Chains A and B, each alone.
Chain A
Amino acid sequence: MIKEKLAQIKSGKFTAERNIQEFLKKIKQEDKKINSFLYVAKKEALKQAKEIDKKIKEKKKVGKLAGLAIAVKSCISVCGMPITCASKTLENYKGTFDADVVRKIKAEDGIIIGLTNMDEFASGSSGETSAYGATQNPKALGRIPGGSSSGSAAAVAADFCDIALGTDTGGSIRNPASHCGIIGIKPSYGRVSRYGLVDLSMSLDQIGSLCKDVFGAALMIEVIAGKSEKDPTTYDEPIKNYSNLKSEKHFRIGISKDFEALCTDKRIYKLVMEKTAELIKKTASQIININLKHVKLAVQTYYPLVYVEFFSGTRKFDGRRFGKKIEETCGEEVLRRILGGKEISRAEYGGQYYRKALATKKEIAKDLEEAFKKVDIIISPVTPRLPHKIGEKISVEDMYAYDAFTIPANLAGICAGVVPAGEIDKTPVGLQVMAPAFKEDLLLSVLNEL
């Protein structure tokens, strides 16, 4: 447990160096089969660990993450480390500065242990589109770990680090957290600075945390949250002491038949409802049925937005200042999004694809806004099906449908998180909790009760 480990490190009973060395040993021994890391920062991590231990020995003040091993998704800039976005396009690119989130982690004495594998440029929901090979699901070998933060989720699940950073545009933290049986938090849009993040879709992307316990995930959000002068989309909302998890009761829990209809594997919905029943009993809460009539259009709304914004965002990868020309080096899914985005942005269409998607996005946000007038939180499954086997051929549309339950939170800019609900066919299944924008404290309290 993160809280106990932190106390031990801070008291000097367990050193930061030993913490890092144990993880490095495990990564060396086991990551060949998992493929969760693209870069392991052995030298840098050990150097930083020794410095932290020295501070503790000298009774100097240390940060909130003192000595913890933090894995970072390969699309978040860490100065001097290879930020490849799991693509051949950025094969030799090294971060020239620290992203806001990385700067904050370092300031709190968190140790960057390495950069994780991911779907290429975060374009995928399975972890299979990486140019450096698919990541295995440590909790269900042979199956996908989910994506796009595949390596971050797998690294946490395999005990290769204490906490990992992921990014979530349509479910890229929550989907792999669910498949790997861990906690994953997507903060509200504007809660965490995106400065230093290689974007997939700038109006939807958000950086969040993955961990085996709610305390660790909450602590990371507490560290990385806040207004940044370098990201004008961040809000100046107060940052609460998220890791001080309170035991709360009497929640009004919203559930929707609209989600049930989208769940292709009904065993998942049943399991999530059973876990919800436990929460109701434990916290003396009540269920309220809500109407989310537009959520069935979430996938259809999300992809035109992503295609257009991704096409726009990738124009910098022209091979002149860094890397290689993206269209000549990327994989199929990345190319599909670029060419699709280019196509529907053509002048002859007058922006109709993007505009219609924006208008539907607003309808989905309105549905959720109305629902939150009646309920405190909304519970749903995370994915409509179990993770498929690595290499199994599935259609593009089926791949996109993995995120049907997670996309609405991104479209509405609200916060959401995932906890394990149980297992089906020896494969982890998560439960999603959604809360209103900037109510991360409420979200984390509920997750802590589950």
Chain B
Amino acid sequence: MKMNQEKIRKEAKKIMDEFIKELDKITLSKDFGIKRKQETRKKFTDDSDEKFRERMLENAPNVKDDFIVAEKKKW
């Protein structure tokens, strides 16, 4: 779909600026972090079946010899 990305980016920025202007009107606490007891994810049970790899490769746009092929020099 061809869309004017620059126009949409500017429009989105304008909306964000208007929203933040509203938030600027109130006094905010600096202590807004989320405190959680546990910060790291525990290792979980791997319940993938033997066909998982097959299904994953079926979704890949470009596959060669059991590997996903991605373009070079574009990263």
Please give the residue numbers on chain A whose beta carbons come within 8 Å of chain B beta carbons, in ascending order. Answer: 79-80, 88, 92-94, 96-97, 203, 229-230, 232, 294, 297, 299-301, 303-304, 307, 319-324, 327-332, 335-337, 339-340, 342-344, 352-353, 355-363, 396-397
The 4 nearest A-B residue pairs measured at CB: A340-B12, A300-B19, A359-B28, A322-B59
Q: How far is the CA of A301 from the CA of B45 in the complex (A)?
A: 37
Interface pair B59/A323, CB less than 8 Å apart: yes
Residues of B with C-beta under 8 A to A229: 42, 44-45
Residues of A with C-beta under 8 A to B68: 320-321
Please give the residue numbers on chain B whose beta carbons come within 8 Å of chain A beta carbons, in ascending order. Answer: 1, 3, 5, 8-9, 11-13, 15-16, 18-20, 22-24, 26, 28-32, 34, 38, 40-42, 44-45, 48, 52, 55-56, 58-61, 68, 70-71
Interface pair B32/A358, CB less than 8 Å apart: yes
Shortest Cβ distance from A320 into B: residue: B70
Q: How far is the CA of A330 from the CA of B68 in the complex (A)?
A: 23
Interface pair B12/A339, CB less than 8 Å apart: yes
A interface majority secondary structure: helix
Quick one: which of A94, A297, A304 contacts B55, CB cutoff 8 A? A94
If A307-B16, A331-B1 are given as contacts, then 10 extra A-B residue pairs at C-beta distance below 8 Å, sorted by A number, are A94-B59, A230-B44, A232-B40, A300-B18, A301-B19, A303-B19, A320-B71, A339-B5, A363-B26, A363-B28
Residues of A with C-beta under 8 A to B18: 300, 397
19 A-B pairs (CB sep. < 8 Å): A80-B55, A203-B34, A229-B44, A232-B41, A294-B26, A300-B18, A320-B61, A321-B70, A332-B8, A339-B8, A340-B15, A343-B16, A359-B23, A359-B29, A359-B30, A360-B26, A362-B31, A362-B32, A396-B11
Please count the residue pairs between chain A and chain B whose beta carbons lie under 8 angstroms apart in the complex. 121
A126 to chain B, nearest CB (A): 17
Interface pair A359/B9, CB less than 8 Å apart: no
Interface pair B1/A340, CB less than 8 Å apart: no
Interface pair B16/A336, CB less than 8 Å apart: no
Interface pair B5/A297, CB less than 8 Å apart: no
Interface pair B16/A340, CB less than 8 Å apart: yes
Knowing A97-B48, A343-B9, A357-B23 touch, does A304 contact B16 (C-beta < 8 A)?
Answer: yes
Q: How far is the CA of A77 from the CA of B40 in the complex (A)?
A: 24
Interface pair B32/A359, CB less than 8 Å apart: yes
Residues of B with C-beta under 8 A to A343: 9, 12-13, 16
Quick one: which of A88, A232, A356 contacts B23, CB cutoff 8 A? A356
A175 to chain B, nearest CB (A): 20
Q: How far is the CA of A304 from the CA of B71 in the complex (A)?
A: 33
Residues of B with C-beta under 8 A to A330: 1
Interface pair A360/B28, CB less than 8 Å apart: yes
Knowing A232-B38, A335-B3 touch, does A356 contact B15 (C-beta < 8 A)?
Answer: no
Interface pair B60/A361, CB less than 8 Å apart: no
Shortest Cβ distance from A328 into B: residue: B1
Chain B CB count within 10 A is highest, among A300, A328, A353, for A300
Residues of B with C-beta under 8 A to A319: 61
Residues of B with C-beta under 8 A to A337: 12
Knowing A297-B23, A344-B16, A356-B20 touch, does A93 contact B29 (C-beta < 8 A)?
Answer: no
Q: How far is the CA of A299 from the CA of B19 in the complex (A)?
A: 8
B30 to chain A, nearest CB (A): 7
Interface pair B60/A322, CB less than 8 Å apart: yes
Q: How far is the CA of A357 from the CA of B26 in the complex (A)?
A: 12
